[in-house]
Amino acid sequence: MSREQASYRKRLPETEAERDELRKQLDRLQTGEVERLASTAGLQVPGDVWTFGATLDTLRGEDGDVDADMVSGVVDAILKDRPQLRDQPVGDLGIGASALGIRPPKVGLSQLLKPGRT
């Protein structure tokens, strides 16, 4: 075995370990992107996309990137079967001071800067 071959054999495990770590980083980033897209598509708990059988491999396009249309399609299918998983907008819940018609007093900047003046 030549020195050059020995050098390559020595570096191979390091290179493979680096490749594996980069793959893990890419998977983490793509997992976050899928969950962001799932949230945007209306899923209340974005991580639920994995519960119903989706994997990164099924949500990647031919180029290896996350396919937003595939994610949207999976979320639509989940929400069709389980509409209770849809994200519910939060607004005025009808409780508290605002429900009673009580509004906080308007405070001007001068009152904030000199609290003794009212």
Supply the range of the domain harboring residue 56: 3-87
Model confidence pLDDT, tens digit, residues 81-90: 999 999 887 7
For the chain, the distance separating the N- and C-terminal CA atoms, rounded to the nearest angstrom, is 91
List the structure tokens of 20. 């594996």
Does residue 97 lie in a domain region?
Answer: no
Q: Is the pLDDT higher at 76 or at 102?
A: 76
Report the number of distinct structural domains present in the chain.
Answer: 1
pTM equals 0.68
Does residue 67 lie in a domain region?
Answer: yes
Model confidence pLDDT, tens digit, residues 8-53: 888 999 999 999 999 999 999 999 999 999 999 999 999 999 999 9
Residue 94 above 80 pLDDT?
no
- How far out from the chain centre does Cα 98 lie? 32
For all residues of the chain together, what is the average pLDDT?
Answer: 87
Does residue 43 lie in a domain region?
Answer: yes
Does residue 17 lie in a domain region?
Answer: yes
Does residue 35 lie in a domain region?
Answer: yes
